[in-house]
Structure 1
Amino acid sequence: MSGAQGKLKEVVNLKSKFNFRLMIDDAHGFGTMGATGAGTHEAQDCIDGVDIYFGTFAKSMAGIGAFIASTEEITNYFRYNMRSQIFAKSLPMPMVVGLRKRLELLKSQPEMREKLWFIAKTLQSGLKERGFDIGVTDTMVTPVFLKGDLQEATAITMDLRENYGIFCSIVVYPVIPKGLIMLRLIPTALHTIEDVNRTLDAYSELAVKLEKGHYKGKSATLLPK
């Protein structure tokens, strides 16, 4: 949630002492992490130590659905024994065609991944320079931690969307401690430096508003422009 990578290599090294299979959920890593975008296990040089790789089509592939990659024996076992698969429907064929094209783009246009990282790093460094707490992210996931409650969080996101034209997702208690707000920005390869600067300016303004109590006790639907 905070953009910090798991310590996969250290976990893989435990296989020398214990007998286990390792499954990872690499939702944000697939398509963005590693030299070819294969995932976080590629970035940490421990692909061979991951037995079951779970990824989603909802992040870098901008679609729906997910996948599991492993040996034929393991994937066949899952296919016929996973409770969630019993009544599962196949992906719509237009989505399958689109996902195949996106996978082709991930392979053939590495410059898109490089642009994504450039935008994400520029955004993250800009936020830190303006005094924002972005935690310890070392991925393109860009969280901003603020102090406030759920009502303030919803009012902030409403203000950003309606008055600044900026979308972000919010994370609040019980995912994070009470009294904290996590705003997660979503940089993409299609964003520009102008988009980054506009976002930084908007966040600087909302931080001042939050400090002055502008969002306190207000309904997001009644937030003034």
Structure 2
Amino acid sequence: MMNDHIPDLFRKFDSLVDERSKLLSSGMQDPFGLVMDRVISPTVAICDERETILLGTYNYMGMTFDPDVIEAGKKALQEFGAGTTGSRVFNGTYAGHKAVEQSLCEYYGMDHAMVFSTGYQANLGIISTIAGKGDYVVLDIDSHASIWDGCKMSDAEIVPFRHNDVEALEKRLGRIPAGAGKLVVLEGVYSMLGDVAPLQEMVTVAKKYGAMVLVDEAHAMGVVGRRGRGVAEDQDCLDAVDFVIGTFSKSVGTVGGFCISNHPKFEILRLACRPYVFTASLPPSVVATACTSIRKLMNADEKRLRLWENSKALHQGLRAAGFQLGTEEPQSAIISVIMPDLESGVGMWEALLREGLYVNLARPPATPANMTLLRCSLCSEHSAGQVEKIISTFTRVGEARSLLAGH
């Protein structure tokens, strides 16, 4: 029995509990509790006994069902077992872990690579280790939660600036003491609206003030750039970036995170980075699938072309239907549809699901400017027919719910 005189540690969640209870009591399906009963392909799953087009999985290059990737995972599972039962610095480094790090070095043309158990841990570990007390981390206000958490864990001074604003970045850097350690953290593609950072300008400004630069390319790897190496490659500034963070859970099609760098002292991070030292390493089957996928992404020009064609077609179709989108033009594989409020967003999400279309519902505080978004993630394996069906489903449901401009 709860003592009324002892503060309830869950009290801070009361507004969230009330909001969720209100939505579910109205009979709506929980938008954050969807179960996929069976996954048929990178673009189709069975959800609630209904065949559903997947438009919210980050499976940008469709690698989850690639035959070579699956075969590599099976082989590693058979030869090395289900897991390592240890961290990388003890018994958790197998041949596959070194192989996937080597593939990353070759892909990006850099000297060093560290693989983490998740992309979240990669940001958490690298930022909190290289920035410390007395240092400054300057970051975009719309940065991912893993970046913010890495900053908090670092004990450094945190200096945010207005989203994608080069002038604001320079002003912040100009106010930091000249002799202080400075790390500028940017993202290539921002995950909520799918917009791209002006990296080349920002990296130039950062170097002008003696700052190191870390770029999170989670949503750009495999998708953006001549070889799919991200926005830094696309904007010709990859060589000026000190650290690139990425993930295996998007274009690579499995799970894990990484950091690559040319810094001559980089390898010491294997002993100093707590989220690396004190976490069990990825299972052999996972690193084997990641390694195979990365090597295939090096020569995946046709997949990238199809993905961009899909992105352009969906963006054009949704705009023509009267939806408000997060970007004026397609900038990535993410296309976000802006909803007027959370209730409208949940209702639209559920109606789309009933029509056999799954998208992500993104809500505050994760979204910029307290927006509610229906976030669509294209895949290279979406057919032209599927894209047309997605547009017609969105249009039909949006019109029925009076969510289109002019209706």
Structure 2 match to 1:138: 331
Shift in alpha-carbon separation, 1:27–1:95, aligned structure 2, 3 A: same
* Letter of the 2:310 counterpart: I
Is contact 1:68–1:75 with CA below 8 Å preserved after alignment? Answer: no
Identity percentage over the alignment?
Answer: 26
In the alignment, which residue of structure 1 is the partner of 2:132? none
1:146-203 alpha-carbon deviations (Å, 9 max, x no partner): 1122x44333323222x2221111111122344x421111111110111111111111
CA distance, structure 2, for counterparts of residue 104 and residue 210 of structure 1: 45
2:88 matched residue in structure 1 = none
Which of residues 228, 239, 264 in structure 2 aligns to 1:48? 239
Q: If the length of structure 2 is used for normalisation, what is the TM-score?
A: 0.49
* CA pair 190-74 structure 1, distance change in 2 beyond 3 A: farther
TM (norm. structure 1) is 0.86
- Contact 2:206–2:213 (CA<8 Å) still a contact in 1? no
1:56-89 CA-partner distances (Å, limit 9, x unpaired): 1111111111100002645323322223223212
Instruction: Note the residue ranges of structure 2 that are not aligned, 5 or more in a row.
Output: 1-191
Is 2:347 the partner of 1:155? yes
Q: Secondary structure at the match of 1:211?
A: coil
Larger RCO, structure (CA 8 Å, separation 6 or more) = 2
Query: RMSD over aligned Cα, in angstroms?
Result: 1.8
User: Mean Cα displacement is larger for which, 104-113 or 24-33?
Assistant: 104-113
- 1:74 to 1:117, Cα distance in 2 relative to 1, 3 A: farther
Counterpart mapping for 1:1-225 below 5 A: 1-71=192-262, 73-136=264-327, 137-149=330-342, 151-161=343-353, 163-174=354-365, 175-178=367-370, 180-211=371-402
Report if aligned partners of 2:361, 2:373 keep a CA contact under 8 Å in 1: yes
- Matched with 1:219 is none
- Name the SS of the counterpart of 2:253 in structure 1: coil
Which protein is bigger by CA-based radius of gyration? 2
Moved more, 126-135 or 43-52: 126-135
Shift of 1:140: 1.6
Matched pairs, number = 209
